[in-house]
Chain A
Amino acid sequence: MEVRRIVLPGELVDKRNGRKLWSGVYIEGDNVFSKVLGIPRITENEISVIPLSGVYRPRVGNRVIGVITGVEISGWSVDINSPYTAFLPLVEAVGEFVDKSRTDISKFYDIDDIVYCRVSKVTKDKTVQVNMKAIGSRRLYNGIIIKITPTKVPRVIGKGGSMINLLKNKTACEIVVGQNGIVWIRGLNKAKVIEAILKIEKESHVVGLTEKIENMLSE
Chain B
Amino acid sequence: MAARKPKASNVSADELTQFYRDMLLIRRFEEKAGQLYGMGLIGGFCHLYIGQEAVVVGLEAATEEGDKRITSYRDHGHMLACGMDPNGVMAELTGRIGGYSKGKGGSMHMFSAEKHFYGGHGIVGAQVPIGAGLAFADKYKDNGRVTFTYFGDGAANQGQVYETFNMAALWDLPVVFVIENNQYAMGTAMKRSTSTPDIYTRGEAFGIPGEAVDGMDVLAVKAAGEKAVAHCRAGKGPYILEVKTYRYRGHSMSDPAKYRTREEVQKMREERDPIDHVRDLLLTGKHATEDDLKAIDKEIKAIVNASADFSRESPEPPVDELYTDIYAEVS
Same complex origin of A and B: no
Q: Which residues of A contact B (CB under 8 A)?
A: none
